[in-house]
Structure 1
Amino acid sequence: MTKNWLITGASSGFGRALTEASLAAGDTVVAAMRRPERLDDLVARYPDSLLPIVFDVRDTAAAAGLVERAGRVDVLVNNAGVGQIGAAEEVDDASLRDMIDQHLLGPAALTRAVLPGMRERAAGVIVQISSQGGRVSFPGAGSYSAGKFALEGWSQALAGEVEPFGIRVLIVEPSRFRTGFNAVDVLKLAPTSRTYGDMLGAIRADMLAVDGRQEGDPDRAAEIIRTLVDADSAPLRIALGREAVRRIGDGYRSSLAELETYAALSASADFPGLPESARPV
């Protein structure tokens, strides 16, 4: 059955790859982005299947209107967003809030807008493009990870809430892919301070130097995502790329080892003799 996709950040990266793959498969796409002219070539090839719409994911008040224009949404892909590098002391409130707006509040508003229609049809898939930085973080990536960690926690709860209605959630956690993410005019860099300049200098340089040389293939990633969207069942989370598999796996193992090392001390915080709480979920 033909699916109708609503994809944010559709002009480049995963958004563009998913748009192309879906159109080639015979689906229809509502492509939401700030610069729709970047899809002029696809509009010429698929004039009846592609609808580009100017949209800024941070404009949560416009989410309902976008979904109304899109009509039936079978698959929502919350992909729009950018990276940001800077130490906690270097990233100001406005820059931190921008990460939360793009990576949590914007996707949440669009998700709320599509859910009534999906519930009515008892079908639908919400694809949240997160990152390996949504499970593990490192110095300089705190503000970016803050948005992605928040998106993943929100989406994990969402998955349990909508599963009874036939709606699935897929959280995608890529490593480095050959998208515009690391481009010098895309990646946000907080003003460098003397305090953290030496510590984060190599990270800033590496993030920019890798642009165009990333090992991840967005087209392969798009096909994996489409396969999982079409599957009868799929995981809640899917890591994409060897680095993501390694880093996320190492993070899980490290966290489990730490939990088990301090398990007795942690458990001793309870009142003695009382049973563990029973919860409905």
Structure 2
Amino acid sequence: MTNTDGRVWLITGCSAGFGREIALAALAAGDRVLATARRPETLTDLEAKGGDRIRTAALDITDAGQVEAAVKTAVETFGRLDVVVNNAGHGAVGAVEEFTMSELRALMEVNFFGAVELTKAALPHLRAQADGTIVQISSAGGQVALPGFGAYSAAKFALEGLSEALAAEVAPFGVRVLIVEPGAFRTEFGGGRLQRSRTIDAYELSTSDTREAVETMHGTQPGDPAKAAAAILRAVGCPNRPLRLALGDDAVDAIRAHHESIATDLSNWEKVSRGTDLD
């Protein structure tokens, strides 16, 4: 298949949640999709729904060889690559001191370095065709770090910082970046893939509410992943898209309050801040 009708998407983490819904929304829009997951057998129902407009592939985003192979498969199968969605990853809860360094590094490998690896692999193709979009699935936690979410937010803060710079770097080539910041959606964030640190009794004071929330939220989150997917497709197709797209009332409220807090500190300490230059 080498025709170029419709956009071509490469989406990671399609076994459930946002990845699956974005794949379904892209197919419904008449686009073509390479849907990936660590276990591609979980994608058979997507293949049945997409017909010749979908292909599936195994992709562990911490495996550089599989990342390169996925990009090559998308280009060779569909003739081009238009939208790359870095969705694969998982949540984590625990105080900073409670996480071991090996756990922190493993979390960064999945939630940050894997997304960077795929982004770098796709960019030569997007630059060559002078068009394309990188969609980074971040989180409201990519701007607001709550107690108990320090490790998770660290990965998302890193992804957002890199992506903000990337957006300016690739804009001259016609390539765009969209950072998506969902709040609580009915995905598997609070389910079995959630990484939980060991516990230190002292931190029950500051993190118990967060731990309790993630253990009880599964299946009760207000956000609809299908509506999130529709919003993402709308933004991807809009010439005046934002750099950041918050999704959900909770995300909008939390991010706005955080920005107001930053603005207040900046204003209150402005005289001190501006008084540090050489005379």
- Shorter-chain TM-score bucket reads over 0.9
Instruction: Report if aligned partners of 1:123, 1:167 keep a CA contact under 8 Å in 2.
Output: yes
TM-score for the superposition, normalised by structure 1: 0.94
- Secondary structure, in 3 states, of the residue corresponding to 2:179? strand
Q: Take 2:7 and 2:123, find their aligned partners in 1: how far apart are those partners?
A: 16
1:50 aligns with 2:51: no
Deviation string 1:112-140 (CA, Å, 9 cap, x unpaired) is 11111111111000000000000010111
Instruction: Report if aligned partners of 1:99, 1:146 keep a CA contact under 8 Å in 2.
Output: no
Corresponding residue for residue 111 of structure 1: 119
User: 1:1-281 residue pairs with structure 2 within 5 A?
Assistant: 1-71=5-75, 72-183=80-191, 185-272=192-279
Deviation at 1:248, TM superposition (A): 0.2
Deviation at 1:61, TM superposition (A): 4.2
- Secondary structure, in 3 states, of the residue corresponding to 1:191? coil
| Cα distance change on mapping 1:256 and 1:61 into 2, 3 Å | farther
Deviation at 1:159, TM superposition (A): 0.2
Deviation at 1:108, TM superposition (A): 0.9
Greater share of helix residues, 1 or 2?
Answer: 2
Deviation at 1:198, TM superposition (A): 4.1
Deviation at 1:66, TM superposition (A): 1.7
Deviation at 1:197, TM superposition (A): 2.9
Aligned-residue sequence identity (percent) comes to: 45
Deviation at 1:37, TM superposition (A): 1.7
Deviation string 1:229-278 (CA, Å, 9 cap, x unpaired) is 11112000010000000000000000111011111111111101xxxxxx
Deviation string 1:192-221 (CA, Å, 9 cap, x unpaired) is 121213432232121121111110011011
TM-score for the superposition, normalised by structure 2: 0.94
- Secondary structure, in 3 states, of the residue corresponding to 1:76? strand
Deviation at 1:40, TM superposition (A): 1.1
Deviation string 1:69-114 (CA, Å, 9 cap, x unpaired) is 1112100000011010011110011111122112221111111111
Which has the higher mean CA deviation after the structures are superposed, 29-38 or 143-152? Answer: 29-38
Q: Take 1:249 and 1:29, find their aligned partners in 2: how far apart are those partners?
A: 34
The one-letter code matched in structure 1 to 2:9 is W
The one-letter code matched in structure 2 to 1:15 is G
Instruction: Give the superposed CA RMSD.
Output: 1.1
- Secondary structure, in 3 states, of the residue corresponding to 2:181? strand
Q: Take 1:262 and 1:17, find their aligned partners in 2: how far apart are those partners?
A: 45
Instruction: Report if aligned partners of 1:60, 1:105 keep a CA contact under 8 Å in 2.
Output: no
Instruction: Report if aligned partners of 1:170, 1:235 keep a CA contact under 8 Å in 2.
Output: yes
What is the aligned residue count? 271
Gaps of 5+ in 2: none
- Secondary structure, in 3 states, of the residue corresponding to 1:46? helix
Which has the higher mean CA deviation after the structures are superposed, 61-70 or 129-138? Answer: 61-70
Deviation at 1:12, TM superposition (A): 0.8
- Secondary structure, in 3 states, of the residue corresponding to 2:97? coil
Q: Take 1:18 and 1:144, find their aligned partners in 2: how far apart are those partners?
A: 22
- Secondary structure, in 3 states, of the residue corresponding to 2:56? strand
Instruction: Report if aligned partners of 2:60, 2:67 keep a CA contact under 8 Å in 1.
Output: no
Q: Take 2:276 and 2:205, find their aligned partners in 1: how far apart are those partners?
A: 40
Deviant stretches of 4+, over 6 Å: none
